[in-house]
Amino acid sequence: MAENKFLQTRGDRLVTRGGERVKLHGVGMGGWLNMENFIVGFPATEALNRRALREVLGPELGQYFFDRFADTFFTAADAAAIADVGFNVVRIPVHYRHLEDDATPLRLKESGLARLDMAVEACARNGLYTIIDLHVLPGWQNNEWHCDNPTHHAGFWGHPEFEDRVLNIWKTLAARYQGNPWVAGYEPMNEPGDPTGEHVARFFPRLLSTIRAVDPEHILFLKGNAYGSEFAFYTDPLPNVVFIAFDYAIAGAAGATQYPGETKGVFYDPAALEQRYLELTQQARRTNTPVWVGEFGPVYSGDDAIDEYRYRVLADQLAIYGRHDANWGIWTWKDINVQGVVHLDPTSPYMTAIQPVLAKKARLATDAWGHTDDAIRDVMAPLEQRFAAEFPSHPNPQWWLNRLVRHILLAEPLVPEYAESFRGLTREGIDEVMSSFDLASCIRRDRLIELVQAAIAADNPTARARTGSVIT
Q: What is the mean pLDDT of each run of 10 residues along the chain (472 residues)?
A: 84 96 98 98 98 98 98 98 98 98 96 98 98 98 96 96 98 98 98 96 97 98 94 90 97 92 89 98 96 98 94 98 98 98 98 98 93 95 98 96 96 98 98 98 98 95 43 36
Q: Residue 458: what pLDDT?
A: 95
Catalytic residue among 60, 191, 274, 308, which?
191
Amino acid found at 64: Y
Q: Residue 464: what pLDDT?
A: 44
Query: Tens digits of per-residue pLDDT, 363-408?
Result: 999 998 988 999 999 999 999 999 999 999 999 999 999 999 999 9
Q: Residue 2: what pLDDT?
A: 59
Q: Residue 472: what pLDDT?
A: 35
Task: End-to-end CA distance of the chain: give it in Å, rounded.
Answer: 33
Q: What are the residues whose beta carbons fall under 8 Å from the beta carbon of 200, sequence distance 6 or more?
A: 157, 192, 194, 225, 233
The answer to whether 32 and 75 are in contact (CB under 8 A) is no
The answer to whether 65 and 423 are in contact (CB under 8 A) is no
* Bridge partners (DSSP) listed for residue 447: none
Number of Cβ atoms within 10 Å of the Cβ of 19: 9
Q: Residue 3: what pLDDT?
A: 60
Concerning whether 187 is annotated as a catalytic residue, the answer is no
Rg (CA), the chain: 21
Q: Residue 213: what pLDDT?
A: 98
Number of Cβ atoms within 10 Å of the Cβ of 378: 7
Q: What are the residues whose beta carbons fall under 8 Å from the beta carbon of 238, sequence distance 6 or more?
A: 208, 220, 222, 287
Q: State the greatest distance between any 2 C-alpha atoms of the chain, in Å, as a whole number.
A: 66
Distance between CA atoms of residues 364 and 379, nearest Å = 10
Q: Residue 236: what pLDDT?
A: 79
Catalytic residue among 295, 417, 428, 432, which?
295
Concerning whether 295 is annotated as a catalytic residue, the answer is yes
Q: Residue 28: what pLDDT?
A: 98
Q: Residue 462: what pLDDT?
A: 54
Q: What structural domains and CATH numbers belong to the chain?
A: 2-32+74-344+442-459 (3.20.20.80)
Q: Which helix (H) or strand (E) holds 383?
A: helix 377-390
Query: Tens digits of per-residue pLDDT, 70-101?
Result: 999 999 999 999 999 999 999 999 999 999 99
